[in-house]
Structures are given as C-alpha cells and as structure tokens.
Amino acid sequence: MSNNKKPKLIVILGPTASGKTELAIKLARKFNGEIVNADSRQIYKKMDIGTNKIDIGYWILDKKNNVRKNNIQYPISNIIPIYLISTINPDQQFSLAQYKKLGINKIKEIKRRNKIPFLVGGTGLYISSVIDNLEIPKAPPNNKIRERLNKLSAEKLFEKLRKVDLKSAKIIGKNNKRKLIRSLEVYEITGRPFSAQQIKGQPLFNVLQIGIKIDREKLYKKIDQRVNKMIKIGLIEETKKLAEKYSFSLPAMSGIGYQEIGLYLKNKITLDEAVQKIKFRTHQYARRQMTWFRRDKRIRWVGNYRETERVIENFLK
C-alpha cells in the first residue's frame, strides 16, 4: 500500500516550551482531532508541575463527567482528549517498545472514531518509533544490570556509553540517566549499540510532520519564564511529596527540575542555584531536541498558526 492510501497522522513537534500542545489543541478543535502525547516525562503519574502538564491544560475528570482546570468546571464535550499522559507510576519501568505499542493502538482507536490523530511532543525517539515503525531491540529490562548501572553517576554512564555507542551518547546527552542506563543495558544484553538496532519498518501511517519554528533567544526566555512559574505554583511542594514515596535514584526522579529541587531540599544548593541549574539544563535539552529534529528532512517547519492550518488543510484533502 502506498503511503498516500494509509491512515493519516499529523505530528506536532518542537523543543520544550515552544508551544506544541497549545497549538495542537487549537488545531485538534479545528480539524476534529484528538491528541496522543509523545513526551517521555509526561508519561509519569503524580509529576505534573515539573513536567509542565499544568501549563498545557492537564484536565482531570470529576465524578459528574466534567473536567476541572484552575478550579473552573468545563463540560467534557468541550475538551480535546490527550492520551498517554499520567500513564505509569514514577517507580515503574517503561520501555520504548511499550510506548510504541500504546501509541499506535491509541492512534488506531482515534481513527476508528473518524477523528484525526495528532501525535504531539518533543521526545524524538517516541515519535520515530511510531512514524517509522521502528523495529526495537529485543532486550527486555534486566533489573540486575539496571541496579548496577544506577549506582553510577550520569557523568560516568555518559562516558561508558560514549565508548560503545557514540551516536546514542550524543543524542541522549550527559544528564538523562534513564536513557543512558537503557542504552548501556541494551548493549550489554545484545552486544550491539542501541543506535545500530533501531531499524525502520514499513510505515503504518501517511504522516505530516510539523515543526514549530522559534528563535533560540525567544525559546530560552520562554523556558526561563516557565521555570519561574513552576517554582511559583508549587514545584518544591510537589518534589517534596514525591520524595516521601520515591527515591531520587529512580530514572523518573532524576529528570530536570526534580533532581535540582531534590538537591535544594537536601540543603546541598540554594534555591537560586537550583532554579539556575533547571534553566541551564532545560536550555541544553532544547538544543539536543533541535539537533535530533533537524536531521529529519521530512519535517515542515512553520512559524505561525495560519500557515500551519493551510499545511494541514492541504494534507487532509
């Protein structure tokens, strides 16, 4: 089957804080769509402020089938569903293969309801697993390997990965402990670099990828404003509550924001230092995301809503 005859899927991607989800919600309303999350941090339950679920419109159903946002009730009929948000607990293992299966199933469900599926997020590997139908390495999680690797710092894990899989190390960066551990785990189990095993299969969908074009300085400013807002609305309290139940050695708890606030709560750094570290690490993360996305020449970069609307209208004809 040619790609043109396959079910249509719209991808909205870009770096963190670029406004992906706000744009996608507006587009989903216009084009009768529903959203599938492609952000590896928003997968976790109970991690709302630090993963920016609050800011993008994280809707919570009440018993009367209404939703609440900022203590205002809305009828469910007005809300665009966002799937694969708050799916697993912070101490649960979750693999790329699991995400791919859940993501594809959700997209097919949306199509069966005659809606347009929007895959939205900034985790390049999550997006690629779905649109490229990646054949993911058959390397089930190994707790013994993970426990041993988890004792090492992110910096040491990064150096280990550089020696055996430079490509993955460059993509992941020095701070994402969860992905560093997984890449090393796959290498130990299979004897081959993780990056060399991500083989593209037959595409399942006819895909339009839209990237949000944003000036770097403007993006950094938006990131900094968002971090300030997270502190203001309760990131410290959220981290404190999570730390009562979950260890900071867990991959989920080593994410940007929680790690730095954790150091502050342990009196290892000041709050000002924690905030600056969060901003700096988020800037680094945004640069890595853009490095990943720029390699994909299929992405249509757009600068405003009207242009995006026209591109989608042409795609859906």
Domains of the chain with CATH codes: 139-197 (1.10.20.140), 217-284 (1.10.287.890)
Please state whether beta strands 8-13 and 66-69 pair in parallel, antiparallel, or not at all (unpaired).
Answer: unpaired
Residue 262's pLDDT is: 97
pLDDT tens for residues 271-299? 999 999 999 999 999 999 999 999 999 99
Please report the pLDDT score of residue 172 as a whole number: 84
pTM of the model: 0.85
Predicted local distance difference test score (pLDDT) of residue 278: 98
Q: Which long-range contacts (CB under 8 A, 24 or more apart) does 53-59 make?
A: 53/85, 53/86, 54/233, 55/226, 55/229, 56/21, 56/22, 56/25, 56/82, 57/21, 57/22, 57/25, 57/82, 58/82, 58/85, 58/86
